[in-house]
Amino acid sequence: MHRFMPHQPDLNINNPLVRNEIHKVIGFWLELGLSGFRIDAVPFVIEQVGGDHPAVADPHDYLRDIRGFAQRRRGDCMLLAEANEPLEKIAAFFGDQHGDQMNMLFSFVTNQALYLSFVRGSAKPVVEALRALPPIPAGAQWANFIKNHDEATLDKLTDEQRDEVFEAFAPEPSMRLFGRGIRRRFPNMVDGDRGRLEHAYSLLFSLPGTPVLFYGEEIGLGDNPDMKGREAVRPPMHWSGEHAAGFTTAREVDLPRKLVRDGPFGYRSLNVEEQRGDSNSLLNWMERAIRVRKEWPAFGWGAWEVLDAGNESVLAHLATWDGSSVLAVHNFAGEPARITVQLPADAVDGRWRHIFGPGDGEVPEFRERRLAVELPPYGYHWFGGREGV
């Protein structure tokens, strides 16, 4: 009665006693102050075997049960679910138009399109993925990510597309898993290239939805290929360059998950302590990106549209909400790209200004609601405007 590993037996969620025990676990952690839960492999949680139980008629009833209990205990409790399902099935896990099940779902479709866009140097796969996403209930959100704690799955791509990504980001068979995924962290995939890292995470923070970071991404943490399977992307966090990366006082040889010790991703040169003191570090860049995004909530809440940039390498998208608009432009190519973007009539009429971008180079400006600029390889910029300001 297991779905994954033999030592992980399935639970009969149709049994009221089982539901009560799970409620107790949820209530315990909410009492300790947690803000919510990530629900793993949610389609398999509600998967039914046999048709002789009345609950089988509506397996999603259990997700409404979890949502109802959790939010009665804490009104702002958030449920983020992993449901790597086809597009025609995915919206059901939000609760369709009612929005009474999961608050957020990981957007695997967007994530996999990002990898294809990174490899091709073209914004087209991401644009197609964003436009293909089904409508979601008010208050629900897509959770965007570059990497999570498993392999970077590419199951939604065609065989040919997957081979393209493998060739670029996982050229050796040992870097792949299950025939569909990459067991590497993104910094390793791009050889620690700072320009490509900034480009990727600038996209993450500006795409429609909510950005999700996997621990260590904020410093460019690498993977450990010597670990088996998925464990390769789960090394201990690098807090400092001291013993065991400041993670523990235990002997390094005793750690069940081995440290990344040597090379450009080793903990002696890549750690939180070093980057906190460096104003140009990736950690400080991440903090600035997060701060600016919070100042412009249209990124997450706004009605969005993709604008014509006159260049297939560049994604230009606009989001408008509550009297403010934001525009983000990103060049996926490893060569310069000249673009021209005209703001549509529904963008706000206030003064537009540059709000985030690379720390060096000329800052582009709008002229008569029109942006004309040459973006460097993997270049990016955010702009914002507010009514009457």
Please give the C-alpha separations between residue 145 and each of 114, 162, 183, 285, 286, in angstroms, as whole numbers. 10, 18, 15, 17, 14
Per the prediction, the chain carries an average pLDDT of 93
What is the Cα–Cα distance from 318 to 347, expressed in whole angstroms?
Answer: 8
| pLDDT at residue number 154 | 97
What is the Cα–Cα distance from 335 to 136, expressed in whole angstroms?
Answer: 36
Task: Determine contact, residues 344/370, Cβ cutoff 8 Å.
Answer: no
Could you say which DSSP state residue 3 is in?
S
Q: In this structure, what token pair is assigned to residue 380? A: 């990016």
Neighbouring-strand partners of residue 384: 326, 353
What is the Cα–Cα distance from 314 to 312, expressed in whole angstroms?
Answer: 5
Domains and CATH numbers, the chain: 16-293 (3.20.20.80), 302-386 (2.60.40.1180)
Backbone phi, then psi, for 317, in 5-degree steps? -135, 145
When mean pLDDT is compared across 57-71, 143-157, 199-213, 263-277, the lowest value belongs to 57-71
| pLDDT at residue number 156 | 95
Q: In this structure, what token pair is assigned to residue 363? A: 């800052």
| pLDDT at residue number 98 | 86
Q: What is the pLDDT of residues 246-294, one digit of tens each?
A: 999 999 999 998 999 989 999 999 999 999 999 999 999 999 999 999 9
Q: What is the pLDDT of residues 88-100, one digit of tens each?
A: 999 999 997 789 9
| pLDDT at residue number 360 | 73
| pLDDT at residue number 309 | 96
Pairing mode of beta strands 303-307, 314-321? antiparallel
CA 131 to chain centre: 17
What is the Cα–Cα distance from 136 to 92, expressed in whole angstroms?
Answer: 9
Pick the closest to residue 93 from 59, 126, 68, 69 (CA basis). Answer: 59
Helix locations, the chain, DSSP H: 16-31, 42-45, 61-73, 87-90, 108-120, 124-132, 159-169, 186-189, 194-206, 272-276, 282-295, 298-301
**Plot region of 49 (φ>0 → left; ψ -120 to 50 → alpha; else → beta):** beta
Neighbouring-strand partners of residue 339: 373
Encode 1-40: b = buried (16+ Cβ within 10 Å), e = exposed: eeeeeeeeeeeebbeeeebeeeeeebeeebeeeeebbbbe
What is the Cα–Cα distance from 159 to 142, expressed in whole angstroms?
Answer: 26
CB atoms near residue 45 (< 10 Å): 19
Task: Determine contact, residues 3/10, Cβ cutoff 8 Å.
Answer: yes
Q: What is the pLDDT of residues 344-373, one digit of tens each?
A: 998 998 889 999 999 777 788 888 899 999
Task: Determine contact, residues 55/6, Cβ cutoff 8 Å.
Answer: no
Residues annotated as catalytic (active site), given as ranges = 40, 82
User: For residues 317, 320, 321 and 323, what is the CA-based torsion angle, rounded to 10 degrees?
Assistant: 150
Confidence tier at 50 by pLDDT (50, 70, 90): low
Q: In this structure, what token pair is assigned to residue 211? A: 């950005």
What is the Cα–Cα distance from 348 to 38, expressed in whole angstroms?
Answer: 36
When mean pLDDT is compared across 1-15, 24-38, 63-77, 81-95, the lowest value belongs to 1-15
Q: How many residues does the chain have?
A: 389
What is the Cα–Cα distance from 232 to 62, expressed in whole angstroms?
Answer: 34
What is the Cα–Cα distance from 375 to 331, expressed in whole angstroms?
Answer: 7
Confidence tier at 51 by pLDDT (50, 70, 90): low
Neighbouring-strand partners of residue 327: 318, 383
